[in-house]
Chains A and B, each alone.
Chain A
Amino acid sequence: MKRTLILVMICAVALVFAVSCKPKTKPTPPPPPQVKEQPKVEKVVEPAPVKKPEPTEEELFMSKSLEALNKEKPLAMIYFDYDKYFIRDDAKPVLEANSTWLKKWRTTKILIEGHCDERGTEEYNLALGEKRAKSSSDYLVSLGVPADRLRTISYGKSQPLDMGHDEAAWAKNRRAQFLIIEK
């Protein structure tokens, strides 16, 4: 016990000694003479980013979501006569344009929706809407679009485009719509 105490005291003394024996500070040197120096002209060149090639049409196409793609409406809808489901002459060029698009984008799959106006009954209109979707699908197949890329569905008269109750509204509602569901 006593020995420890002595050891501690020796250490304390040694520490005090060490602190008090700091080396003497040297006199400060004179300040260097002020030299007027011209600033160096630096050449600043921003490194040019690696030039990206323009995105191809295909890349652009693939980057879009199905929703965004459908919003652009690349596939126009076609219209039908009252109570009928045959392809009208004015619908043929539209379907040809649609088939060209479908042949360009070979991975796409579409859903063809058949719609009717309100002047048919609920039950019959579902069948009529289906006939409209099917005849649109058949026409596209006849233009060379593989049938396995085309699906059909009928919504009867439940999804009118135009809420009106006149011939103009009905003519708009008797239609086939083309929805891209895969790409």
Chain B
Amino acid sequence: MKRKRRLPLLLSLGTAVLLGAAQQDIWLLIDGGRPAYSFALPAFVPANEASRASAEEAARIFEADIQYTRIFQLLPKTYYSYIRTLDPKAIQFKEWESIQASLLFVGELAESAAGDITFEGRLLDVKSERQIVGRRYQAKKADLRYMMHRMADEIMKAYGEKPVFTSKIAFISNRDGNDEVYFMDYDGARQERFTFNAVRDYMPAFTPGGQHLAYTSYRSLVPGVYIDDIYENKRTAVSVKGMNFAPSFSADGKKLAFSSSMDGNAEIYVADVEFNPTRVGRVRRLTFNQAVDTAPSWSPNGREIVFTSDRGGTAQIYIMDAEGTNPRRISFGANHHDAPAWSPNGDKIVYVARVDNVFDLYLYHVQSGQIKKLTESNARNESPSWSPDGRHLVFTSNMRGGIQIFSIDADGQNLRPLTTVGENKLPDWSH
């Protein structure tokens, strides 16, 4: 009986390759004592009438997060009418079980006259009547959204997932007249400008943990790669000789790969980077040829780098060892490929291929070598970047006219636009 219910849920998770390593991980987690995905999310309980509006707002934010996870299935709200209204002091677990809830989230919110919010959230396992996650937060009303994202991320962590909702997406926008770096949440909320300079900024890339941001900036007419501390006013120039593009941090944050023409031609280099104080160590060159080598992205274990090269006459995707040795081509068919990005769990590489002047995203499965088309839009979809949990991607597209950023799940579902103002491109999701 239980098994029967699991199957469709797994299918709905289905990232096409259900037999991949990631899916096995999930299976083990399910069998490891948390057999439920059906998620009951009744209205948050306000402490008084004055807290009601904030409680409703908080529940909306939290529900959107849970919906986005693709791990949990929200129980239809109509089911709640069959049982008594939730009383946080006396939870009737049997009743929740009777409407097929496996998980129950109980939220209580109190708002003071000064706008201070206290929130208590508990994720409960209905069958065992045990608490899985419990958190109490205090925040200003302005931070309500961030507070609920923290709560959702605690649940992600409890299920062995990487936090997604407090992550940031860095991107380039010209909405204020010049190409500058901006940040936004996973859902496009809270868009804010990060760089303020008259030059153009390009290709942002977060360090693991999101404390620093590498990007290309056209200072003094030289596109250099710089690393900024996001929270303190510190900047490090990594490379300002020649043209320097496409920075990408290794998963341990110790190495920065980028493309540079410091020796005359676009090659891939790796800089040893250490922070606090931010400084750049040795810079090593990995590619040696007259072709273009660019857009490096690290495998999560740091042993390999996937990149774009036109050494064979057209732009194709190659993987090489982290020392620059053993390059092998993985893309075939089209005559123009670019912007590869290795998924955080290592099983897939997403890249752009151009066929008949249409750019679409493709997923290359590292183990099997199979390639699957991810987007189908008759437009130009490019610059993909993975979510921290590898279940979602952001990318740039002109599918609705102007150049904007969209997100999509790794199985091609849930396409949604994240930006609307100005032109927005080159998104990078913090991990």
The 6 residue pairs across chains A and B that have the minimum distance between CB atoms? A121-B338, A127-B292, A123-B295, A127-B266, A124-B338, A127-B294
Contact B308 A123 (CB under 8 A): yes
Smallest CB-CB separation from B425: which chain A residue? A122
Interface size on B, residues (CB 8 A): 34
Question: Which residues of B are found within 8 Å of A134, using beta-carbon distances?
Answer: 261
B103 to chain A, nearest CB (A): 42
Contact B294 A126 (CB under 8 A): yes
Contact A124 B294 (CB under 8 A): yes
Chain A window 102-127, contacts with chain B (Cβ cutoff 8 Å), 1 for yes, 0 for no? 00000000010000001111111011
Binding site for A on B (CB under 8 A): 179, 200, 202-203, 218, 221-223, 243, 245-246, 259, 261, 266, 292, 294-295, 308, 310, 314-315, 336, 338-339, 352, 354, 357, 359, 380, 382-383, 396, 425-426
Smallest CB-CB separation from A111: which chain B residue? B221
Q: Taking A121-B382, A153-B223 as contacts, is the C-beta distance between A127 and B359 under 8 angstroms?
A: no
Contact B221 A181 (CB under 8 A): yes
Measured CA separation A126–B203 after assembly (Å): 11
Contact B243 A123 (CB under 8 A): no
Measured CA separation A107–B200 after assembly (Å): 28
Q: Which of B266, B359, B380 has the largest count of A CB atoms less than 10 A from its CB?
A: B266
Contact A118 B380 (CB under 8 A): yes
Beyond the given A124-B294, A124-B310, please list 15 additional residue pairs across the A-B interface where CB-CB is below 8 A.
A120-B336, A121-B352, A121-B354, A121-B359, A122-B338, A122-B339, A123-B203, A123-B246, A126-B246, A130-B243, A131-B266, A131-B292, A158-B179, A158-B200, A181-B221
Measured CA separation A121–B203 after assembly (Å): 13
A145 at the interface (CB under 8 A from B): no
Interface size on A, residues (CB 8 A): 21
Contact A123 B245 (CB under 8 A): yes
Measured CA separation A86–B225 after assembly (Å): 28
Contact A121 B292 (CB under 8 A): no
Q: Taking A127-B292, A158-B179 as contacts, is the C-beta distance between A121 and B339 under 8 angstroms?
A: yes
A140 at the interface (CB under 8 A from B): no
Measured CA separation A158–B222 after assembly (Å): 16
Question: Which residues of A are found within 8 Å of B339, using beta-carbon distances?
Answer: 121-123
A83 at the interface (CB under 8 A from B): yes
Contact A124 B426 (CB under 8 A): no
User: Can you report 9 residue pairs joining A to B where beta carbons are below 8 Å apart?
Assistant: A83-B314, A118-B380, A120-B336, A121-B339, A122-B339, A123-B259, A123-B339, A126-B243, A131-B266
Contact A154 B223 (CB under 8 A): yes
Question: Which residues of B are found within 8 Å of A152, using beta-carbon distances?
Answer: 243
> Contacting B336 at CB < 8 Å: which of A121, A127, A153, A158?
A121
> Contacting B396 at CB < 8 Å: which of A111, A122, A124, A126?
A122
A128 at the interface (CB under 8 A from B): yes
Question: Which residues of B are found within 8 Å of A124, using beta-carbon distances?
Answer: 292, 294-295, 308, 310, 315, 336, 338
Chain A window 133-166, contacts with chain B (Cβ cutoff 8 Å), 1 for yes, 0 for no? 0100000000000000001111000100000000
B171 to chain A, nearest CB (A): 12
Measured CA separation A122–B352 after assembly (Å): 10
Measured CA separation A123–B383 after assembly (Å): 8
Measured CA separation A96–B380 after assembly (Å): 37
